[in-house]
Amino acid sequence: MEIVIWTVIPLCALGIVLAIILFFVAKKFKVEEDPRIDEVEACLPGANCGGCGFPGCRGLSEAVVKSGNLDGKYCPAGGNAAMSKVAAVMGLVAEEKEPMVAVVRCCGSHDKRPQTSTYDGAKTCAIAHATSSGDTACQYGCLGYGDCVAGCHFGAISINQETGLPEIDYDKCGGCGGCAKMCPRGVIEVRPRGKNDRRVYVGCINKDKGAEAMKACKAACIGCGKCAKVCPFEAITVENNVAYIDFTKCKSCRKCVAECPTGAINAVNFPPKPATPPAPKPEAQPAPAPAEATVVENNVNNN
């Protein structure tokens, strides 16, 4: 018992003495920090995704508080909601930005893009891309080893084992671009969410000539240019045998979707189809689409 007392008492005494010293040291060397940094940081999602271009949420908060303005500082993951909170803390007005979302520009699921060889190297996209061209005949499309999944800080992306392609949970995705950065082939693009969360994009980046692209994948863009011809807004350009829809010009009329012979153009969230139909067929189009399209056509004719 005596031993216990003799150990406990000096240890407690030592603890108290050191605590007092630490208290004064902390007072003396206290780092003065703007309390607003903490407040701003509390408004942000806290995932440290780096989508804003600063080293984590703390980095963005410090930059906002130090500069005292919001120019070029935007949290894509938190979106306008987070930024308006930040603006409230700072007494500024946040600029409304169009919310973004990641889209997978590859429709080459297993049934559409047959396997031509076996890849037995390290199971990461970066290495598969660097050391081989993957196990299909398409050297541009998704490799399916899920580097993008590792790049997402919000759990918004997962590989669908049936199709072998990444699927994005649009509710969770904030469009920070973390997945796009990880993808060695640039398959993932960050695009605006679009009106009512509806958007149209080309689900292919294969730059091969039509016949070769088609041989490798049934859902490939063959660069035929039909979509570009049918688009009333000149939003579609075909370059290097692949079509691209300029989201600043696209009005989501979906004429191109119906026109595409391979179904490479994806239309997301249009009723009644819920999420990411890999290849929407013309007959599956909802009724409003042609109506909208005719209206547009009439307008063009009137002009």
Partner 1 sequence: MIPIAQHIGAPAEPVVAKGDTVKVGQLIAKSTGFVSANIHSSVSGTVAKIEKTIDTSGYKNTCIFINVEGDEWLETIDRTPDLKTEITMSAEEIRAKIAECGIVGTGGATFPAHVKLSVPQGKKCEHLIINGVECEPYLTADHRLMLEHTEEIMVGCKIIQKATGAEKIIIGIENNKPDAIAKMTEAAKKYGITVMPLKVKYPQGGEKQLIKATVNREIPAPPALPIDVGCVVQNVGSTFAIYEAVQKNKPLFERVVTVTGKSVKSPKNILARVGTPLSHLIAAVGGLPEDTGKVVNGGPMMGKAVKSLEVPVTKGTSGVLMFKQSESVRMEENACIRCGKCVSACCMGLEPYLLKNLAKIRDFDALKEERVLDCIECGSCSFTCPAGIPITDYIRYGKATVTKILRSKK
Binding site for partner 1 (CB under 8 A): 116-117, 120-124, 126-127, 130-134, 139, 208
Give the chain's end-to-end CA distance (angstroms, integer): 101
Q: Which is nearer to partner 1, 69 or 116 (CB)?
A: 116
Q: Which is nearer to partner 1, 112 or 185 (CB)?
A: 185
Q: Which is nearer to partner 1, 127 or 230 (CB)?
A: 127
C-beta of 106: minimal distance to partner 1 in Å?
17
Q: Which is nearer to partner 1, 117 or 294 (CB)?
A: 117
C-beta of 129: minimal distance to partner 1 in Å?
9
C-beta of 205: minimal distance to partner 1 in Å?
14
C-beta of 181: minimal distance to partner 1 in Å?
10
Q: Which two tokens stand for residue 100?
A: 């973004």
C-beta of 113: minimal distance to partner 1 in Å?
14
Q: Which is nearer to partner 1, 150 or 293 (CB)?
A: 150
